[in-house]
Amino acid sequence: MKRHKNIPAIITQILFSAIMLLLSTELAANALRPTPFASAAKADTVEKKRSSFAGLPILTHSPETKLAVGAAGSYFYRSAGSDTANRPSTIGASLIYTQKKQIEIGLGVDLYWKDDTYNFSGGISYSKFPDTFYGTGNNTSEDLAEDYTPRTFGLGLSFQKTVRRSLYLGIQYQLSHEKLLEVEKNGLLAKGNILGSADGVVSSAGLSVNRDTRNNIFYPSSGGFYGFSVSLSSRAIGSDFDFNEYSVDLRKYIPLFSSHVLAFQGAMNMMTGDPPFQALSQLGGVLRGYFAGLYRDKNLLAGQVEYRMPVWWRFGLAAFAGYGDVADKVSHFERKSFKYSVGWGIRYLLIRDEKINLRLDFGYGKGSSEFYINISEAF
């Protein structure tokens, strides 16, 4: 739900893009089923390979990176004797360089065993990521922009167990060390008064509870995802910052007609204590049409809806709308300050077998517009 540019987000972005693109080289050749817009009730009759390795270029676009290119390698497998409907385990690595001279390197694993009863995921990453800081709050402006360049090393670990059908309990740990290599002279960050403007370590541990009834994790057409997590960052576990974070991510997918989908998402993120500015919730990380860091603060509320439909062959269309805001305190949310997001997108089916789309979205917000190229749906 929360999409700030911290280490877990970098790991997720790098490895997810790499893995999904790499899967396409193996599965597209065996694509025998209809498009992902076909009825979700149809059984998956295509035999999936037990294991494979592939390498492929990466091409994405977002407001924060502009054009991003790179390369990735991934090995994925299903254990001998396991159901081919089970999720594949993956070991992957990727390197990305962007139009803004940002570099991201990621290594990660995502392992499943005992018929998906257990899941372990972990990754390490390095990034040198020139970015833009606009201050904090819900009334910032692009006129306040100042450039800065952080260098970040990170580690993310997560273990999850199925406790009953569709219900998962998990523990997680995240560690990052960030140093600001460059800041604008006389800027807000150069003054050193903002938490995170000096070198620092964030070390956090937490718990998660998720109920996942989606019929497909890449292109859900029915069911839902209902997630809650809490994490603690404390000097007692090596953090330079003391704060707590509570996140809720609610998603629902409704099939319409024979192949259309109406998707909903509600997102909430709350923080207590003193987090660094890098960890603050970013409205543009949830709602399309905004630069991720333009509006950031300790608390976030947002909701969005998207209509997805087939058009012809592998192509589809989507239309979306959202509404949300950030605030320093929950009591400071005001309806008049909430921001809207509207837009539309084109979908191209990359992998029929796994129902994975290439996504091109055009988002329009309050006084801004952005476009995005990525793999799979926004939520």
Q: Where are the alpha helices (DSSP H) in the chain?
A: 7-27
CATH for 7-375 (2.40.50.840, 1.10.357.10, 2.40.160.50, 2.40.160.10): 2.40.160.50
Model confidence at 122: pLDDT above 80: yes
Model confidence at 367: pLDDT above 60: yes
Model confidence at 14: pLDDT above 70: no
Tokens of 312: 């012809």
Using CA atoms, how far apart are residues 369 and 185, in angstroms rounded to an integer?
29
Indicate the average pLDDT of the chain: 87
CB-based contact 359:343 (threshold 8 Å): no
CB-based contact 296:324 (threshold 8 Å): no
What pLDDT does residue 37 have? 34
CB-based contact 373:59 (threshold 8 Å): yes
What pLDDT does residue 2 have? 41
What pLDDT does residue 87 have? 78
What pLDDT does residue 4 have? 40
The predicted model gives 346-359 an average pLDDT of 88
The predicted model gives 105-130 an average pLDDT of 94
Mapping DSSP to helix (H, G, I), strand (E, B) and coil, where does residue 13 land?
helix
Element (H or E) spanning 330, and its range?
Answer: none
Would residue 115 be called left, alpha or beta, if left means φ above 0 and alpha means ψ between -120 and 50 degrees?
Answer: left
What pLDDT does residue 263 have? 98
Using CA atoms, how far apart are residues 91 and 93, in angstroms rounded to an integer?
7
Cα-based distances in Å from 155 to 4, 74, 174, 329: 16, 19, 6, 29
Counting runs of H as helices and runs of E as strands, what totals does the chain give?
1, 19
- For β-strands 223-233 and 243-256, DSSP reports them as antiparallel
Per residue in 74-89, pLDDT (tens digit) is 898 887 777 777 878 9
Model confidence at 297: pLDDT above 90: yes
What pLDDT does residue 49 have? 61
What pLDDT does residue 319 have? 98
The count of residues in the chain is: 379
Q: What are the boundaries of each domain within the chain? A: 7-375
Using CA atoms, how far apart are residues 163 and 312, in angstroms rounded to an integer?
41
- Range name among 37-46, 91-100, 105-114, 351-360 with the lowest pLDDT average: 37-46
Nearest residue to 4 via CA among 271, 193, 211: 271
Model confidence at 19: pLDDT above 80: no
